[in-house]
Amino acid sequence: MLRGLKAIIGWTEDRSGMIGVVTPIITHRVPRNAKWWYVFGSATLMFFCIQLVSGTLLATLYAPSAADAYQSLVYIDTQVPMGWMLRAIHGWSSNAMVLMVVVHMLQVFLHGAFKFPRELTWMVGVLLLFCTLALAFTGQIMRWDQDAYWGLGIGASIVDRVPVLGNQLRNIMLGGPYIGGATLSRFFALHVFVLPGLTIALVGLHLWLILRNGVSEMPKVGEPVVPATYRRDFEARTERTGVPFFPDAAQRDMVFCGLALIVVVGLAALYGPFGPNGNPDPTVIDANPRPDGAFLWIFAALALLPAQVETFLLLAAPPVIVLLLLAIPLISPRGERAPTRRPVSVLAMLLVCTALAALTWLGVTSPWSPVMDAWTSVPTPVRLVERLTPLQMQGALVMQYQQCRNCHAIDGTGGMRGPDLGDVGSRLSWDQLVRQVQQGGGNMPAYGKTLSAAETVAVVAFLQACRTDGQPPAFIPGALERAASGDLPPVAAPVAAPPAAP
Amino acid sequence: MNDGCQGCGCGGAGASPPGGETRRGALFKLGAGLMAVGGAVASVPIFGALVAPGFRRYGNSWLDIGGVADYPAGETRLAKFSIPGASPNDGETATAAAWVRSMDGGKFQVFAVNCAHLGCPVKWFQQSRLFMCPCHGGVYYEDGSRASGPPPRGLFEYEWKVENGRLLIDAGRLPGLQETA
């Protein structure tokens, strides 16, 4: 029996030579100090493999047609045995892959592992980062729900801003002059054929480059990379003190990958699949489109870019970011690798991470978005109501009825687009409040045409009453003296009639 | 002789008969030329289908969005319509919506629901007479002009006309900054 197996293996090896090819690859010597810092690339690869398998199985159940996609997802979630879990694993593993590829990249940058002779490994890695992000974005489109539909609308609007050719490019992207079946088919082809194929090819190249140039050692202060001697010294050191990748180094990868996989499967079981969130019906305008986590920072940047430079930045930033990332090893191919000797690099990395984290958090809270139902769902605080005069009470009603609360919180509840009005009475004087309500400004619409004079008086009276206990109303020096002379009472002042509508 | 052969890119080595160099060089050029021609001819339909939407001029059509009486003066209502020439593959995405503002004297303004900033669906609020966008907080007045937020212009407007008591709009394409509605 054993002899028979040996004979089969021997015959196969004689004809194919595969064992002779693979053995030196998996037992290639790696630096002894390549320990827990080095597990993230392996974890990324593992999650990519999970994506390939779960994605292939999803493709056997998913209907890639705009007419049927949404219903097929509902069917997978509710009717197919374990279908919801399959979708959940694909979704959570996708997030894990994005996270791991970013952490892997940060580790490589922090340790200067992109320097000679591994420049090309880094560049291929940058392409893999964008493949991963493209897979995540096109994967969100596959959900074919409201988020997917309006997310495509945002993408189309950005492409439409390209000078001269914008409209043509947009129609190529959408497969026509509107978002429809052709659009989903295009993104389906990208998501299941083009991008996975490209990613597999680049992963192969990435691994080949790792084998050719070796895994970098942990950086040591005072051991700069000198291209003239680096390869000879590195090979001598790994030959002398290195360990075989399998099993010595691989065991840490296995422990981490196993744990990461268990966590992802656990999250999938606990929280289930992502979406689909609402039919992709363009006539349902109550949608509240939000991108997936990896793109929330872009969503936030789009809300915060100054209007004058928005189009320029939207179009110029992506190629600049890609080229800059690709160029990092060319900018700094030699010298110290230790983070303590590369303060500018480390600070730049921290700055980018902080900015991305802050933008992502802003994307989660999206304070610039009106809370569409705040005017009917958020109450006026009791502390204010219990001391209001009838006029001020009327103003509170006007305030509620005019959807002011969609953008303005009072004591922290309501929209956050404009300032919280809980203490506005002690910040703005009567005249300033009238002016702000009627003329708007500072990113607030003008209500001069919408509110009658009486409504304006009421709402301003209410706003003046919006103060913390014991705070006097704001006033402009001199206004009180005029008020005392009977010229212009600070409360319930007559308001000029709103300008006639043109 | 062999050195010269390597330069031609055919990778040929070993003993070659006199005159083989020129014959192989010519054959290589012929092969490369034929491959290029064949590849170019095959590429046209292969990639043509991909980029065709970029070269077509998509027109709009006059679409009936209901009777004039469906839109009382002084109100702004949502009109739903089917996109002309939609494919059976489109499902729900073959429909679209527009905001119809009906004014005194039988005048209308018909706005695309897509925000002029990045295309999210704006919602109408009758009381404050404002359109608000859920994505990045763009706000428009009832006449479609920009009130606040990031939009670089007012809402996109469809051409409209009234025929036999029916309201028609000229629509079909997704509006954008380079694409009038």
Q: What is the pTM of this model?
A: 0.90
Task: State the sign of the Cα–Cα–Cα–Cα dihedral A272, A273, A276, A277.
Answer: positive
Which among A156, A307, A449 is the nearest to B174, CB-wise? Answer: A156
Q: Do B135 and A369 touch (CB under 8 A)?
A: yes
User: Residue type at A394?
Assistant: Q
Angle between helix A40-59 and helix A119-142 axes, rounded to 10 deg: 30
For residue A418, which residues of chain B lie inside 8 Å, CB to CB? none
Whole-angstrom CA distances from B126 to A12, A393, B101, B130 are 78, 22, 11, 7
Measured between CB atoms, does A299 come within 8 Å of chain B? yes
The reply to whether residue B58 touches residue A289, judged by beta carbons under 8 angstroms, is no
Nearest chain B Cα distance for residue A319, angstroms: 20
Residue where the block lists tokens 């933008």: A359
Q: CA nearest A273: which of A465, A464, A483, A61? A: A61
**Where in the sequence of chain A do the CATH 1.20.810.10 domains occur?**
31-283
The verdict on whether omega for the bond into residue A247 sits within 30 degrees of 0, i.e. cis, is yes
Q: Which residue do the tokens 């392996």 mark?
A: A42
Asked if the Cβ–Cβ distance from A407 to B137 is below 8 Å, we say yes
Indicate the pLDDT class of residue A256, thresholds 50, 70 and 90: very high
Option in A160, A178, A280 nearest B177 (CB) = A160
Neighbours of A359 (CB within 10 A): 18
Q: Which helix (H) or strand (E) holds A55?
A: helix A40-59
State residue B6's pLDDT score.
Answer: 46
- Look at residue B180 in the predicted model and tell me its pLDDT: 63
Q: SS3 sequence, B103-168? A: ECCCEEEEEECECCCCCCECEEECCCCEEECCCCCCEEECCCCEEECCCCCCCCEEEEEEECCEEE
| Cis bond upstream, residue A472 (ω within 30) | no
A211, amino acid identity:
L
Helix (H) or strand (E) holding A69: helix A69-78
Backbone angles phi, psi at B111, to 5 degrees: -105, 145
Residue B100 one-letter amino acid: V
Task: For chain B, 181 residues long, give each residue's pLDDT as a single digit of tens.
Answer: 344 444 444 444 445 555 556 777 899 999 999 999 999 999 999 999 999 999 988 888 899 999 999 999 999 999 999 998 888 899 999 999 999 999 999 999 999 999 999 999 999 999 999 999 999 999 999 999 999 999 999 999 999 999 999 999 998 888 887 766 5
Smallest Cβ–Cβ distance between A445 and the set B118, B148, B178 belongs to B148
Residues A376-394 as b/e (b if ≥16 CB within 10 A, e otherwise) read eebebeeebeeebeebbbb
CB contact under 8 A, A445 and B174: no
Contact A176, B58 (CB under 8 A): yes
Q: What is the dihedral of CA A335, A339, A345, A350, to 10 degrees?
A: 170
- pLDDT at residue number B11: 46
Put simply, the answer to whether B150 touches A185 (Cβ < 8 Å) is no
Give the chain B residue nearest A302 (alpha carbons): B136
Structure tokens at A356: 């991305």
Closest C-alpha among A236, A258, A241, A225 to residue A112: A225
Q: Which of A179, A303, A375 sits opposite B136 (nearest CB)?
A: A303
Report whether B133 contacts B103 (CB < 8 A): no
Residue of chain A whose alpha carbon sits nearest to that of B90: A181
If you average pLDDT over residues A309-314, what whole number do you get? 92
Q: Using CA atoms, how far apart are residues A194 and A134, in angstroms rounded to an integer?
A: 11
Q: How many CB pairs under 8 A join A and B?
A: 201
Closest Cβ opposite residue B54 in set A157, A171, A282: A171
Confidence class of residue A391 from pLDDT cuts 50, 70 and 90? very high
Q: Considering only CB atoms, which chain B residues are within 8 Å of A285?
A: 78, 97, 113, 121-123
Candidates B91, B123, B149; nearest CB to A66: B91
Which part of chain A is CATH 1.10.760.10? 374-484
Q: What is the mean pLDDT of residues A351-355?
A: 97
Residues above pLDDT 90, as percent of chain A: 87
Does A180 sit within 8 Å of B86, measured CB to CB? yes
pLDDT at residue number B3:
45
Contact A403 B128 (CB under 8 A): yes
Tell me which chain B residues have a C-beta less than 8 angstroms from the C-beta of A310: 150, 152
Tens of pLDDT, residue by residue over A397-434, are 999 999 999 999 999 999 999 999 999 999 999 999 99
Q: Which fold has domain A31-283?
A: Cytochrome Bc1 Complex; Chain C (1.20.810)
Contact by Cβ (8 Å): A99, A107:
no
Contact B128 A450 (CB under 8 A): yes
Contact B116, B71 (CB under 8 A): no
Mean pLDDT for A294-313 is 92
pLDDT in tens, A154-204: 999 999 999 999 999 999 999 999 999 999 999 999 999 999 999 999 999
CA–CA dist A58, A186 (Å, integer): 18
pLDDT at A314 over 70: yes
b/e burial code for range A211-224 (CB count within 10 A of at least 16 → b): eebbbbbebeeeeb
Predicted confidence band of residue A497 (pLDDT cuts 50, 70, 90): very low
Give CA–CA dist A215/A224, Å, rounded.
Answer: 16
Q: Which of A283, A401, A445 sits opposite B95 (nearest CB)?
A: A283
ipTM associated with this complex: 0.88
Q: Of how many residues is chain B composed?
A: 181
| End-to-end CA gap in chain B | 69
Question: Is beta strand B107-112 parallel, antiparallel or unpaired with respect to B157-163?
Answer: antiparallel
Residue range A56-114, pLDDT digits in tens: 999 999 999 999 999 999 999 999 999 999 999 999 999 999 999 999 999 999 999 99
Q: Is residue A480 very low, low, confident or very high in pLDDT (cuts 50, 70, 90)?
A: low
CATH-assigned architecture of domain A374-484: Orthogonal Bundle (1.10)
pLDDT of residue A412: 93
Q: Is A283 on the interface with B (CB under 8 A)?
A: yes
CB atoms within 10 A of CB A331: 9
Task: Spell out which residues of chain B touch residue A66, defining contact as CB-CB under 8 Å.
Answer: 89-93
Residue of chain B minimizing CA distance to A404: B128
Return the residue of A nearest to B97 by Cα.
Answer: A283
Which A residues in the span 36-95 are in contact with B, Cβ-Cβ below 8 Å?
65-70
B89 to A182: CB separation less than 8 angstroms, yes or no:
yes
Please indicate whether, in this complex, the C-beta atoms of A66 and B90 are within 8 angstroms of each other.
yes
**Would you state the pLDDT for residue B181?**
54
DSSP helix/strand/coil, A448: coil
Sheet strands side by side (includes B130-132): B123-125, B130-132, B139-141, B146-148
Using alpha carbons, list the distances in angstroms from residue A288 to A9, B81, B142, B153.
60, 21, 21, 22
Rounded CA-CA distance A301/A321 in Å is 14
Q: How many helices (H) and strands (E) does chain B have?
A: 2, 10
Phi-psi region of A248 (alpha: psi -120 to 50; beta: other; left: phi over 0): alpha
Is residue A84 a contact partner of residue A273, using CB atoms and an 8 Å limit? yes
Q: How many CB atoms neighbour CB B173 within 10 A?
A: 22
The answer to whether A106 and A353 are in contact (CB under 8 A) is yes
Tell me the pLDDT band of A394, cut-offs 50, 70 and 90: very high
User: What is the overall mean pLDDT for chain A?
Assistant: 92
Percent helix / strand / coil, chain B, rounded to 5: 30, 30, 40
Distance between CA B114 and CA B171 in Å, rounded?
13
Q: Is A444 on the interface with B (CB under 8 A)?
A: yes
**pLDDT tens by residue, A37-53:** 999 999 999 999 999 99
Rounded CA-CA distance A416/A405 in Å is 9
